[in-house]
A and B are shown apart, each in its own frame.
Chain A
């Protein structure tokens, strides 16, 4: 999985609690992304980062925040988890950052919000 790890791999939490997911890369790539995967929707972008402390919103960013204090780590926080945020979350990285870039994906985190 291209030098990308995600933690935790599985998590069960309760509605209203904060949750933080971590993505760690060993490739020194500049761009990092958080997607969620839901049946019938494919993958949808939550947030992305184009450098340390540089982030921007994606298609489905409401209820999520991110931080990137180091090149290798990109954190996704659900500020107050809701059942609609039950999903599989994937981190991705890309190399050159150009429009031709290929994104490489981590193994995913399966989150269940009760």
Chain B
């Protein structure tokens, strides 16, 4: 069965410092991996996805994520955090062996808090 783990409920960083939000996954086939961000009282916004190819994926708002197949991880990173990055972040996976149109499996979310 597919699953996603976000091992940290909360990540605290100071503005200007690099940030990492961790995600590990479990699928039977090749994974398609996604990161979303949710600001208070808003829907989820798509940040980036990994399908195939380069292990470093660049996305919106300066975020990037590194796919590591051997560690089954897809950590979200940003070189210099902003206070406005404070939000709830979700990692999600779809197994490439699944049929089209089936659901994303989401992690429980990680709250990122960036202090000034």
Which A residues form the contact surface with B (CB < 8 A)? 1, 4, 30-31, 33, 35, 40-45, 48, 50, 58-59, 90, 92, 94, 97-108
Contact = CB atoms under 8 A, between A and B. Distances in A.
Q: Is the interface of B mostly helix, strand, loop or mixed?
A: loop
Interface stretch (B13-21, B40-48, B61-69, B72-80): B40-48
18 contacts: A4-B43, A30-B101, A31-B101, A33-B103, A40-B108, A42-B109, A43-B90, A43-B92, A45-B103, A50-B101, A90-B44, A99-B100, A100-B51, A101-B100, A102-B46, A106-B43, A107-B42, A108-B43
Counting chain B CB atoms within 10 Å of each CB, the highest count among A31, A42, A48, A59 belongs to A42
Indicate the size class of the contact surface on chain B. Answer: 20 to 34
A58 to B, nearest CB: 6
